[in-house]
């Protein structure tokens, strides 16, 4: 592309809410065959809230939430913030430790408390009792993320958290399919929840339970398998995966435009901008060749 053509594309892009940062981004947008999307904050709004609590017989939902909230108050995760928002005052936590992609732990009222995925509990040799496991299946099947709470090595409660799918996500996935692109969800969330959300928006393939540190490697595996990959993320903890893809697309809200990792910055946070950006790049290259 000549510099002039790039400028024209950028001008048209700005109207659509797309910023093309480099000629390389235009070239990449033309050749990609796969679009990988982060789940929380990208396919969904990221405005996570607690939607249900199930406690085992030896405790109450309030008591379990209080223990979970005490640990989560020290955590940065959006799930942690949702749990804290659902609690009243919480006691102090000691020996806090964040477990990236899994949960967090600490000491509350002299007891060891573990909060996080069912997989985190399983990794610690803790299984869910039947009633909590029933709630897990029901909530995950409905696309909720489930957070388990263990006290002194025993599961005492399950918390459902969730946000909503972005309004134009399904429409955007249909447009990407029309452009001949394969869509893949990449998430740290459990497989059942991920599949439910994928079915709701119409995603072709799901890569679930991928730890934050392994997301960039997941992109590289797709590329090693011969795919040319665009990654769409919210930039919160997927910057390495965005950087490792052939084309990184970051959904940004007005204030985070400084984000540097992606070749293309989407200024508007609506997902329909993704197929538009790809169409624009293809049309621009057709015009100038």
Catalytic residue ranges: 38
Under 8 Å between Cβ of 249 and 262: yes
Under 8 Å between Cβ of 143 and 39: no
Distance of CA 211 to the CA centre of its chain: 11
Taking CB under 5 A as the binding criterion, the range among 33-41, 100-108, 154-162, 279-287 that sits at the site for Mg ion is 33-41
- Say how many residues make up the chain: 289
Q: With binding defined as CB under 5 A, does residue 41 bind Mg ion?
A: yes
Alpha-carbon distance 221 to 205, whole Å?
A: 14
Alpha-carbon distance 21 to 24, whole Å?
A: 8
Tell me how far, at minimum, the Cβ of 38 lies from ligand ADP, in Å: 6
Compute φ and ψ for 101, nearest 5 degrees.
80, 0
Find which of ligand ADP, Mg ion, none residue 136 binds, CB within 5 to 8 Å per kind. none
Q: Is the Cβ of residue 80 or residue 230 nearer to ligand ADP in the bound state?
A: 80
Q: With binding defined as CB under 6 A, does residue 117 bind ligand ADP?
A: yes
Count the neighbouring beta carbons within 10 Å of the beta carbon of residue 63: 15
Tell me how far, at minimum, the Cβ of 43 lies from Mg ion, in Å: 9
Taking CB under 6 A as the binding criterion, the range among 57-65, 111-119, 247-255, 275-283 that sits at the site for ligand ADP is 111-119
Q: In what order do the strands lie in the sheet with 94-99?
A: 49-55, 154-162, 145-151, 111-116, 103-108, 94-99
Taking CB under 6 A as the binding criterion, the range among 5-13, 55-63, 131-139, 187-195 that sits at the site for ligand ADP is 187-195
Total residues binding ligand ADP (CB under 6 A)? 21
Pairing of β 18-20 and β 145-151: unpaired
Q: With binding defined as CB under 6 A, does residue 140 bind ligand ADP?
A: no
Which 38-97 residues touch ligand ADP, going by CB under 6 A? 39-40, 72, 75, 77, 79-80
**Which member of 40, 44, 183, 245 binds Mg ion (CB under 5 A)?**
40
Alpha-carbon distance 235 to 125, whole Å?
A: 33
List the one residue out of 18, 10, 14, 7 whose CA is nearest residue 250: 18
Q: Is the Cβ of residue 40 or residue 105 nearer to Mg ion in the bound state?
A: 40
Residues that bind ligand ADP (CB under 6 A): 39-40, 72, 75, 77, 79-80, 101-104, 115-117, 145, 147, 187-189, 212, 237
């Amino acid at each position: 592309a000549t510099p002039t053509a790039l400028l024209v594309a950028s001008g048209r892009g700005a109207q659509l809410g797309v910023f093309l940062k480099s000629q390389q981004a235009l070239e990449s947008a033309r050749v990609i065959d796969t679009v990988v999307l982060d789940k929380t904050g990208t396919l969904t709004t990221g405005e996570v809230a607690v939607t249900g609590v199930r406690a085992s017989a030896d405790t109450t939902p309030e008591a379990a939430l209080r223990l979970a909230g005490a640990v989560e108050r020290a955590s940065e995760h959006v799930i942690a913030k949702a749990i804290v928002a659902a609690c009243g005052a919480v006691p102090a936590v000691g020996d806090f430790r964040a477990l990236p992609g899994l949960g967090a732990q600490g000491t509350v009222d002299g007891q060891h408390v573990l909060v996080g995925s069912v997989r985190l509990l399983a990794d610690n040799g803790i299984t869910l009792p039947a009633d909590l496991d029933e709630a897990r299946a029901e909530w995950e099947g409905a696309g909720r993320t489930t957070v388990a709470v263990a006290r002194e090595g025993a599961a005492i409660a399950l918390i459902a958290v969730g946000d909503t799918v972005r309004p134009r996500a399904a429409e955007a996935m249909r447009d990407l399919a029309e452009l001949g692109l394969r869509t893949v969800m990449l998430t740290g969330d459990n497989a059942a929840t991920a599949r439910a959300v994928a079915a709701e928006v119409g995603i072709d393939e799901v890569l679930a339970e991928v730890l934050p540190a392994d997301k960039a490697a997941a992109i590289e595996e797709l590329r090693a398998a011969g795919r040319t990959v665009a990654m769409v993320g919210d930039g919160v903890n997927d910057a390495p995966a965005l950087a490792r893809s052939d084309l990184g697309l970051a959904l940004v809200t007005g204030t985070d435009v400084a984000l540097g990792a992606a070749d293309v910055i989407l200024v508007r946070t609506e997902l329909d901008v993704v197929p538009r950006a790809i169409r624009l790049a293809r049309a621009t290259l057709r015009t100038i060749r």
